[in-house]
Amino acid sequence: MNILVTGGAGYIGSHTVVELMNAGYHPIIVDDLSNAHYRAVDRIGKITGKAPAFYMANCTCKEQLRHVFSQHKIDAVIHFAAFKAVGESVKKPLEYYRNNLDSTLTLLEVMEKFGCKKLVFSSSATVYGPNNPYPYKEEMPAIQSTSPYGWTKVMIERILTDYCTAHPDFCAVLLRYFNPIGAHESGLLGDDPNGIPNNLMPYIGRVAAGKLEKLTIFGGDYDTPDGTCQRDYLHVVDLAVGHLKALEYAQAHEGVEAINLGTGNGISVLELVTAFEKANGIKLPYVIGPRRDGDLPAFWADAAKAKELLDWEAVYSVEDMCRSAWKFAKNASV
């Protein structure tokens, strides 16, 4: 089966492509490399023993997408390609709305033209917004977010829901990710953002590697057991496997379905720091700083629906996440 993977050279995309190839699918990567490196594509080839099909193309360009669809009979699409930095999205809202919405609309138009009716969409727990109690369940209102980035996910979920109403034979699975961390066991793929990382684990990796001086923990006075924020961290390989399960589900179903991908457990920033130190025998210098604007004190997934509909649950431990993240960060380029 030919699976178009937009954003397939990125962090979650590249791990998903590896799992697809290991399972016998034929992934076709489309990535404009605006926030990814071609070396990830090379490394997928090293890990799997086979080079994946790759097109350097931008999903907002209909001509480029049409070209890819004309070269391969695409059976389903996994759509990762998007701008994803929360803080940057506050400063550049138009770029985020234009890119994330336009790429999805263009993709849907081209899929329709070529009769492709199966889509797995990379959504986020951010769609639960600031007002739902945790653990988050899929039936809660997911109609509000806290940044332009998050709003693009809310809006795209809406677009896909409306599209499925108008096209009852289409299937869109909206995967709401919690906090993916960790890396491929080979140490060849991982989260390697350009510039200073915004997310916690790549920041920890750079501190551990001596490339950044110390970690600043954003806030130590939250109403949580140790005063730091709690999140549902899951291993990126578990997340990648979740996409294969969602793909199988989409093959057999029609309509729209939102599904959380998380472990169902919350752990705090301090707990993650301690777990990293213990798993890798490293001391991590850190200070407690002020809270970061827009951070929620705590949230995690209710993971029951993924188990029920996809027969998926996270299997890797926090220790696995920390060990693999360090194995990758030690050798990362930046």
Q: Supply the residues annotated as catalytic.
A: 149
C-beta of 285: minimal distance to ligand UDP in Å? 13
- Give me the least distance between CB of 33 and ligand UDP, in Å please: 23
Residue 39 in the binding site for ligand UDP (CB under 6 A) = no
- Looking at 146, 216, 224, 274, which residue binds ligand UDP (CB under 6 A)? 216
Which range in 9-17, 146-154, 209-217, 238-246 contacts ligand UDP by CB under 6 A? Answer: 209-217
DSSP label at residue 242: H
Q: Quick one: how far is CA 54 from the chain centroid?
A: 20
- Please, which residue, 41 or 215, has the CB nearer to ligand UDP? 215
Whether the Cβ atoms of residue 240 and residue 209 lie closer than 8 Å to each other: no
Cα-only R_g, the chain: 19
Instruction: By CB under 6 A, name the one of 153, 231, 235, 323 that touches ligand UDP.
Output: 231
Q: Which of 30, 68, 208, 269 lies at the binding interface for ligand UDP (CB under 6 A)?
A: 269
Distance CA 13, CA 52 (A): 12
For residue 23, the tally of other CB atoms under 10 A from its CB is 12
Among 44, 65, 229, 237, interactor with ligand UDP by CB under 6 A = 229
Write the burial class of residue 68 (CB in 10 Å: 0-12 exposed, 13-18 middle, 19+ buried).
buried
Alpha-carbon span 334 to 332, nearest angstrom: 6
- Binders of ligand UDP among 144-203, rule CB under 6 A? 179, 198-200, 203
Q: Which of 185, 277, 295, 313 is the binder for ligand UDP (CB under 6 A)?
A: 295
Nearest to 15 by CA among 32, 36, 1: 36
d(CA 165, CA 173): 14
The residues binding ligand UDP (CB under 6 A) are 179, 198-200, 203, 215-218, 229, 231, 269, 292, 295
